[in-house]
Chains A and B, each alone.
Chain A
């Protein structure tokens, strides 16, 4: 089931020893905990070899009707700037690098739709690398 939501890249299916709290994960198994894998791909340390699929993005990041909500977040120039979820999604879609997309994600963590857009863009950029 996990293989529908996640994909391994850069290695053949097998054992990877991840740092704490994840530990040993055998990707040959069909019975891995999808919530553990979600935590792994979301880990701030950018742990390698596992990415989320588009089906995983759809499954984990539900669309919410928050497009009209506004974020009260700092802009690059340190002045307070408000972005709508729609604006952030647009900026993430246009991002050329994961770092750029991540910057906009940081401005909209409170929006599920922004997280979904980031996860999708992250997947796309990883596919291209």
Chain B
């Protein structure tokens, strides 16, 4: 998706604004590449973040990692923190889909989880976040953390299908999706997640 975006050259008289040149995208056999997300994920109100980690734009990135990784850490306002959520193993998925017409392409992010139990606890959580500005961090099975929601466009609760189920063989809980968008796929976050209040 990024291939055509990261090269500085003139094509048909039109200049492209990039710093990073194209590079090989071959694939080495034998490496880990496990699908799916781990069961813990993290969320916070976007308004509770004091300072955001940063990332460089494609006109100043010099490596692919620089373009796709956040640098620095989420620092929370006093008494604020990230919270840990749970998802049923095998149901968590982060998707990034191209959106927009030609010459206006960007990336829509969708984070889907199944959360078991139709308890007051989880239903109250949904009620609290249904119109809130959020930032979400999930971890894939290779151990990489990715962020949904950015400093200028938060993650939002999008869809929810909650059910008690009908029989003992049914799922009882909520299938929830969150969405956001960005100029690129979700950025990686190699920083620290404070799951305890800032002082």
A residues sitting closer than 8 Å to B (CB atoms) are 10-20, 27, 45, 47-49
Contacts and interface: CB of A to CB of B under 8 A. Distances in A.
Given A10-B199, A15-B195, A17-B42, 16 more contacts: A10-B198, A11-B194, A11-B197, A11-B198, A12-B197, A12-B199, A16-B194, A16-B195, A16-B196, A17-B192, A17-B193, A17-B195, A19-B145, A19-B192, A45-B190, A48-B192
Contacts of A20: 143
6 contacts: A12-B198, A13-B196, A16-B193, A16-B194, A45-B190, A49-B192
B191 interface: yes
Interface in B159-199: 190-199
A17 B38 CA distance: 14
A12 B195 CA distance: 10
Contacts of A17: 42, 192-193, 195
B197 A19 contact: no
Nearest to B196: A14
B192 A16 contact: yes
Contact of B73 (A12, A13, A27, A48): A48
Given A19-B191, A20-B143, A48-B73, A11 B196 contact: yes
4 residue pairs, one from A and one from B, having the closest CB atoms: A14-B196, A17-B193, A15-B195, A12-B197
B195 A47 contact: no
Nearest to A15: B195
Interface residues of B, number: 17
Most buried by A among B42, B75, B192: B192
A20 B144 CA distance: 9
Contacts of A45: 190
A49 B151 CA distance: 22
Contact of A47 (B81, B143, B192): B192
A3 to B, nearest CB: 16
A14 B190 contact: no
Contacts of B193: 16-17
Contacts of A18: 192
Contacts of A19: 145, 190-192
A17 B190 CA distance: 10
Nearest to B144: A20
B192 A27 contact: no
Most buried by A among B84, B191, B193, B194: B194
Most buried by B among A11, A20, A47: A11
A48 B75 CA distance: 9
